[in-house]
Chain A
Amino acid sequence: MKPGRFTYHAPRSVDEALAVLGQHAGDAKVLAGGQSLVPLLNFRVAEPGHLVDVNRLPGLSEPVRTATGWHVPALVRQRAVERSAALTGAFPLLGRALHEVAHPQIRNRGTLCGSLAHADAAAELPAVVTALDGRLRIASPRGERTVAAADFFVFHLTTALEDDELLLGVDLDDLPAGTTTSFHEFAGRRGDFALAAVAGQATRDTRGVVTRCRLVAAGVAGTPLRLRAAEDVLLGARLDDSALAAATRAAAREARPTGDVHASAGYRRDLVGTLTRRVLADIAAAVPTEELTHA
Chain B
Amino acid sequence: MTTTEPRTQKMIGASVLRREDRRLLTGAATYLDDLELPGCYEAAFVRSPHAAARIVSIDTSAAAAMPGVLGVWTGADLPEIAKGIPPKVVHPQLRDVPRVPLPADFVKFVGEPVAVVVATSRYVAEDALDLVEVEYDVLPAVSSTGAALAASAPLVHEGAENNIAIHVVQTAGDPAAAMDAAPHRLRERFTVARGGGHSMETRGVAARFDPTTEQLVVWDTTQSPHYVRNTLAYLYDMPEDGIRVVAPPDVGGGFGPKAQFYGEEAVIPWVARLLRNPVKWVEDRRENFVATMMERTQVHDVEIGFDDDGHILAIRNVFEHDQGAYCAGLQVPMITLSTLPGQYRIPNIHTELIACYTNMVPTSSVRGAGRPQAVVAMERMVDRAAEHLGMDPVEFRRRNLVQADEFPYRVGLTFRDGSPLTYDSGNFPLLLEKTLSAFRYEEQRSLQAAARAEGRLVGIGIAAYVEGCGLGPYEGSRYRLLNDGTVLVTLAAAPQGQGYETVYAQIAADALGMDMDLIRVTTGDTSRIPFGQGTFASRNTATAGPATLQAGQEMRGKLLQVAEAMLKTSAASLTIRGNRVEVTDDPTRSVSLRDIAGAANVGKHGITLAPGILPGLETTVYFAPERAAYASGTHAVAVEIDPETGAIDVLRYVIGHDCGNVMNPMLVDGQVLGGFAHGVGNAMYEEPFYDETGQPQSTSYLDYSLPSSMEVPPVELVHIHTPSPLNPLGAKGAGEGGTIPVPAAIANAVEDALRPFGARITSLPITPPKIVDALSTDDLDGTGPWHG
> Does B647 reach chain A (CB closer than 8 Å)?
yes
| Of B122, B703, B711, B768, the contact of A186 (CB 8 Å cutoff) | B768
Q: How far is the CA of A269 from the CA of B786 in the complex (A)?
A: 12
Residues from chain A with Cβ under 8 Å of B689 in the complex = 261
Contact of A274 with B645 at beta-carbon distance under 8 Å, contacts A4-B127, A266-B780, A267-B773 already known = yes
Residues from chain A with Cβ under 8 Å of B782 in the complex = 249, 252-253, 266, 269
Instruction: Let me know if A186 and B647 touch, CB within 8 A.
Output: yes
CB interface residues, B 635-670, toward A, < 8 Å: 644-647
Q: How far is the CA of A39 from the CA of B780 in the complex (A)?
A: 35
Tell me, rounded to whole Å, the shortest Cβ–Cβ distance linking A99 to chain B: 12
Residues from chain B with Cβ under 8 Å of A266 in the complex = 779-782
Tell me, rounded to whole Å, the shortest Cβ–Cβ distance linking A33 to chain B: 17
Contact of A188 with B767 at beta-carbon distance under 8 Å, contacts A2-B122, A264-B779 already known = yes
In chain A, what residue has the closest Cβ to B785? A270
Residues from chain B with Cβ under 8 Å of A44 in the complex = 126
> Does A248 reach chain B (CB closer than 8 Å)?
yes
Contact of A261 with B698 at beta-carbon distance under 8 Å, contacts A189-B705, A266-B779, A274-B786 already known = yes
Instruction: Let me know if A190 and B711 touch, CB within 8 A.
Output: yes
> Does B702 reach chain A (CB closer than 8 Å)?
yes
CB interface residues, A 241-268, toward B, < 8 Å: 245, 248-249, 252-253, 261-267
Contact of A186 with B286 at beta-carbon distance under 8 Å, contacts A261-B689, A269-B782 already known = no
> Does A236 reach chain B (CB closer than 8 Å)?
no
| Of B284, B687, B697, B710, the contact of A1 (CB 8 Å cutoff) | B284
Contact of A190 with B773 at beta-carbon distance under 8 Å, contacts A261-B698, A274-B644, A274-B786 already known = no
Instruction: Let me know if B645 and A271 touch, CB within 8 A.
Output: yes
Give per-residue flags for A260-286: 1 if the beta carbon is below 8 A from chain B beta carbons, else 0: 011111110111011001000000000
> Does B707 reach chain A (CB closer than 8 Å)?
yes
Give per-residue flags for B535-568: 1 if the beta carbon is below 8 A from chain A beta carbons, else 0: 0000000000000000000000000000000000
Residues from chain A with Cβ under 8 Å of B697 in the complex = 261
Which of A190, A252, A267, A274 gathers most chain B CB within 10 Å? A267
> Does B784 reach chain A (CB closer than 8 Å)?
yes
Instruction: Let me know if A264 and B710 touch, CB within 8 A.
Output: no
Tell me, rounded to whole Å, the shortest Cβ–Cβ distance linking B62 to chain A: 16
Contact of A270 with B707 at beta-carbon distance under 8 Å, contacts A2-B122, A193-B702, A252-B784 already known = no
> Does A207 reach chain B (CB closer than 8 Å)?
no
In chain A, what residue has the closest Cβ to B702? A193
Instruction: Let me know if B702 and A270 touch, CB within 8 A.
Output: no
Give per-residue flags for A49-90: 1 if the beta carbon is below 8 A from chain B beta carbons, else 0: 000000000000000000000000000000000000000000
Q: How far is the CA of A192 from the CA of B685 in the complex (A)?
A: 12
> Does A142 reach chain B (CB closer than 8 Å)?
no
Q: How far is the CA of A266 from the CA of B785 in the complex (A)?
A: 11
> Does B285 reach chain A (CB closer than 8 Å)?
yes
> Does A191 reach chain B (CB closer than 8 Å)?
yes
In chain A, what residue has the closest Cβ to B709? A190
Tell me, rounded to whole Å, the shortest Cβ–Cβ distance linking B746 to chain A: 16
Instruction: Let me know if B768 and A270 touch, CB within 8 A.
Output: no
> Does B700 reach chain A (CB closer than 8 Å)?
yes
Q: How far is the CA of A266 from the CA of B685 in the complex (A)?
A: 20
CB interface residues, B 742-788, toward A, < 8 Å: 767-769, 772-773, 776, 779-786
Total residues of chain A contacting the partner, CB 8 A: 34
Instruction: Let me know if A188 and B784 touch, CB within 8 A.
Output: no
Instruction: Let me know if B700 and A43 touch, CB within 8 A.
Output: yes
Instruction: Let me know if A267 and B772 touch, CB within 8 A.
Output: yes
Residues from chain B with Cβ under 8 Å of A273 in the complex = 784, 786
> Does B407 reach chain A (CB closer than 8 Å)?
no
Residues from chain A with Cβ under 8 Å of B776 in the complex = 270
Tell me, rounded to whole Å, the shortest Cβ–Cβ distance linking B461 to chain A: 21
Q: How far is the CA of A88 from the CA of B608 in the complex (A)?
A: 85
Instruction: Let me know if A267 and B126 touch, CB within 8 A.
Output: no
Residues from chain B with Cβ under 8 Å of A269 in the complex = 779, 782, 784
Q: How far is the CA of A262 from the CA of B689 in the complex (A)?
A: 9
> Does B588 reach chain A (CB closer than 8 Å)?
no
Instruction: Let me know if B769 and A262 touch, CB within 8 A.
Output: yes
Instruction: Let me know if A270 and B126 touch, CB within 8 A.
Output: no
Tell me, rounded to whole Å, the shortest Cβ–Cβ distance linking B190 to chain A: 20
Q: How far is the CA of A262 from the CA of B782 in the complex (A)?
A: 19
Residues from chain B with Cβ under 8 Å of A263 in the complex = 767-769
Instruction: Let me know if A189 and B685 touch, CB within 8 A.
Output: yes
Instruction: Let me know if B786 and A248 touch, CB within 8 A.
Output: yes
Instruction: Let me know if A277 and B786 touch, CB within 8 A.
Output: yes
Residues from chain A with Cβ under 8 Å of B702 in the complex = 192-193
In chain A, what residue has the closest Cβ to B689? A261
Q: Which 6 A-B pairs have the closest CB atoms?
A: A270-B784, A190-B710, A266-B779, A1-B284, A266-B780, A261-B689
Could you jot down 17 A-B contacts, CB within 8 Å?
Answer: A186-B647, A186-B768, A189-B685, A189-B707, A189-B710, A193-B702, A252-B784, A261-B689, A262-B769, A264-B773, A264-B780, A266-B781, A269-B784, A270-B784, A270-B785, A271-B784, A274-B644
A sample of 19 more A-B contacts (CB under 8 A), given A2-B123, A271-B784, is: A1-B284, A186-B645, A186-B647, A189-B705, A189-B708, A192-B702, A192-B705, A193-B702, A252-B783, A261-B697, A262-B705, A263-B769, A264-B779, A266-B781, A267-B646, A267-B772, A269-B784, A271-B645, A273-B786
